Amino acid sequence: MGRGQLSFAALPRSFFDRPSHEVAPDLLGRVLAHGSVAVRLTEVEAYGGPGEDPAAHTYRGRTPRNAVMFGPPGHLYVYFTYGMHFCANLVCLPDGFGSAVLLRAGEVVEGLAEARARRSNGKPLADRDLARGPARLAVALGLMREHNGLDTIMEGSPLGRPRQSATMLEGVPADPSSIRSGPRTGISTAKEVPWRFWIDGDPTVSPYRAHVPRRRNAAATSVGEAPSS
């Protein structure tokens, strides 16, 4: 994808008016454009919804942090984690439900130079790694705390008109036969729920890593403990 704006039509809000685990696979191959950078989604995870999902931020009810997830569909839910990273989600289901799809990885298809400038600190970086991982994707797109709650739905076609700040575009939906699903990455609960979806064989899909509990005070826990196998 070269210079100039992508000419895909915008996704309608009704696209997101479904449970996140139904929206998630349909998002693969779609394009999220923010400013001059656009990313084709290759890996996503579904969270929350009508059924209780203990791994979702909405599990314990509405809070100031997760309020956007309970809002109207098609908006961005951006949260801060691990003291240094932002992750972006797209809100699903109508107002009042807490549900969203985490954007885990994608391919930068527009604004490559801009994305590279944001991601690399003067070090060489392969194109496939620009948005390979949820925090990396957020950086490549320039998404931060201030973009929490941003609407990505553009009523009508964006053709011939400037995009709004963030816009979900149709893109080219992934071939259903190439979509795989499995357990979600890095969570400590509900590990068995296969709500991670990715495009099989795509080089921009991030490697799966199981949750590893962190030790805050290694010195305090290393004395007298049996060696772990």
Binding site for DNA (CB under 7 A): 45, 47-48, 55-58, 60, 63-66, 69, 77, 79-85, 87, 89, 100, 102, 119, 121, 123, 133-137, 184-188, 206, 209, 211-214, 216, 218
Q: Which of 34, 7, 8 is nearest to 165 (CA)?
A: 34
Neighbours of 63 (CB within 10 A): 11
Q: How far is the CB of 87 from DNA (least distance, A)?
A: 5
Q: Which is nearer to DNA, 3 or 209 (CB)?
A: 209
Cβ atoms of 140 and 134 closer than 8 Å: no
Q: Which is nearer to DNA, 64 or 162 (CB)?
A: 64
Q: How far is the CB of 12 from DNA (least distance, A)?
A: 23
How far from 139 is each of 20, 145, 157, 195, 227, CA to CA, in Å?
23, 11, 27, 24, 39
Burial category of 37 from C-beta neighbours within 10 Å (exposed 0-12, middle 13-18, buried 19 and up) = buried
171 token code pair: 């893109």
Q: How far is the CB of 38 from DNA (least distance, A)?
A: 18
Strands 37-48 and 31-34: what pairing? antiparallel
* C-alpha to C-alpha distance for 132 and 69, rounded to whole angstroms: 24
Q: How far is the CB of 64 from DNA (least distance, A)?
A: 6
157 token code pair: 């076609």
Q: Which is nearer to DNA, 162 or 212 (CB)?
A: 212
Q: Which is nearer to DNA, 122 or 162 (CB)?
A: 122
Q: How far is the CB of 47 from DNA (least distance, A)?
A: 4
The three-state secondary structure class of 119 is helix
4 token code pair: 């100039």
Q: Which is nearer to DNA, 3 or 216 (CB)?
A: 216
Q: Which of 85, 92, 26, 83 is nearest to 56 (CA)?
A: 92
The amino acid occupying position 85 is H
Q: Which is nearer to DNA, 47 or 197 (CB)?
A: 47
